[in-house]
Structure 1
Amino acid sequence: MNEKFLELPEEKQLRVINATMEVFAKNDYKHAVTDDIASKAGISKGLLFYYFNNKKNLYSYVFHYTMDIMRKQILDEKFQEIDDFFELLEYASYKKCVLIERNPYLMDFSMKCIFGDKENVSLDLQKDISQETATIFSVYFKNINLNKFRDDISPEYLIRMLTWISEGYVLEKKMQGKELVIDEIMADFKQWTQYFRKIAYKEEYLNESN
């Protein structure tokens, strides 16, 4: 990436970033058109490529940007103080919902990066994405009390299950043409975590208040 991009006013940078997220969120990598990104960002295609040189560099930059802002949004002081797995999940989910409410394409773009077709994406970015997903547990859940879990329960697998449920939930809302309302999402998410808490925790920890 050309460092000149970082010298732009933040508002102009965000126009490019948000336009990129929207176009890649709505299309697979191959069919995401840089002309559309430039048009939505209010700049010429030539200037877009002056900043990023090619489509892969733009895609890579915005992927790392989304991961960075999610980490900054979620990993605050309160987050670091929580040692209960399910309480931490609920708090992180709320913070993520607030972020997605500000940019509705952020989640779709992130999911496309992680789970989408990688055929046209550079090997370096594929490695970055694999590393990002592989370190989620160690980064976000390093302070949790694992002694609460039954011996036959994997916290990492629980995260995957709740991620699948969350993705299906959002997809269903979108197919129904319904807006995502934070209070409704969190009410449903809390029910899921209470259910899994009963399955995953040792009996002596089930009566703890959240």
Structure 2
Amino acid sequence: MKKFEKLSEEKKQKILQSALIEFSTYGYENASTNRIVERAEISKGALFHYFKSKKGLYLYLIDYVIPLLYDEFYRQANMTITNFFERIKNWQAAKLNIMDKMSLETKFLIKAFTNIPKEVKDDVLTRYAKYTQDGFKMLFENIDFSMFKEDIDKNKAIETIVWTLESYGNKYMKENVDSQGNIVINKEKILSEIEAYLNILKFGIAKPHE
């Protein structure tokens, strides 16, 4: 990718934006390098000169987008909150703001990590594993565990909460898609439903023993 990195920032951004539009709209398998180069106003030979292949371009985009989203998340989220449940709510709000502000990048990454084509599966899963590992590490940093019951496994408790919210997120994305395949974001609804799930997990569902 060294030849690509030597281009002017304006030209690089034009190519990257064109590729992001294509992959976020059509996914990896149906994306057309012809449409990418036409939109970017470069030759197809130049595109493959920079990235070698469609796969090379796609993986470059994943490696390009993830740090962008992380940087924006660090700007928007309150990293000092030590109460786990309050941190979750604050971070979810930050994520929703990012989905609004960086909708193209977010859409691309969601598509990249769901229904992964066989041709790029190993490479994408490697990146996804690191992405989730970094996310878990951030989530556990500086947490005040004094609010957790002493007799429960705190790691398992947090994993249960994260899995619940991931399942809710997947369900929401499947059920709230417009005719162009874009996720319709209703912030108030999402944050309200997340809080409801967190309250169930926080206070439990079983009646106390008589």
**Shorter-chain TM-score category?**
0.7 to 0.9
Amino acid paired to 1:162: L
Q: Contact conserved, 1:113 with 1:129, CA < 8 A, in 2?
A: no
Residue in 2 aligned with 1:199? 200
Question: Shift in Å at residue 49 of structure 1?
Answer: 1.4
> Which residue of 2 is the match for residue 208 of structure 1?
none
Which stretch of structure 1 is more off in the superposition, 46-55 or 116-125?
116-125
How many angstroms apart in 2 are the aligned matches of 1:197 and 1:149?
Answer: 14
What is the rounded CA distance, in whole Å, between the counterparts of 2:162 and 2:116 in structure 1? 23
Count of residue correspondences: 199
Contact 1:85 1:144 in 2 (8 A): yes
Aligned match of 1:161? 164
Q: Is the 8 A contact 1:90 1:190 kept in 2?
A: yes
Would the aligned equivalents of 1:66 and 1:106 in 2 still touch at CA under 8 Å?
yes
Q: SS of the counterpart of 1:81?
A: coil
Shift of 1:126: 3.0
Q: Tell me what 1:37 maps to.
A: 36
TM-score (norm 1): 0.77
**Matched-pair contact (CA < 8 Å) for 2:161–2:198:** no
Distance 1:97 1:13 in 2: 27
Identity of aligned residues (%): 24
Distance 1:31 1:176 in 2: 18
Q: How does 1:49-128 map to 2 (within 5 A)?
A: 49-76=48-75, 79-121=78-120, 123-128=122-127
Counterpart amino acid of residue 175 in structure 1: D
Q: TM-score, normalised by structure 2?
A: 0.77
Decide which moves more: 30-39 or 144-153.
Answer: 144-153
| Separation in structure 1 between the aligned mates of residue 101 and residue 22 of structure 2, nearest angstrom | 17
Check the 8 A contact 2:77/2:90 in 1, yes or no: no
* Conservation of the 8 A alpha-carbon contact between 1:90 and 1:189: no
Tell me by how many angstroms 1:47 deviates. Answer: 1.6
Partner secondary structure for residue 94 of structure 2: helix
**Deviation at 1:62?**
0.8
1:114 Cα shift? 1.7
Give distance in 1, aligned partners of 2:109 and 2:9.
21
Contact 1:28 1:117 in 2 (8 A): no
Structure 1 regions of 5+ residues with no counterpart?
204-210
CA-based RMSD of the aligned residues comes to: 2.9
Quote the Cα distance in structure 1 between the aligned partners of 2:60 and 2:73.
Answer: 20
- Shift of residue 72, structure 1, vs aligned partner: 0.7
- Over alpha carbons, which structure has the higher Rg? 2
Aligned CA distance change for structure 1 residues 5 and 96 (closer, same or farther; 3 Å): farther
What stretches of structure 2 of length at least 5 have no aligned partner? 205-210
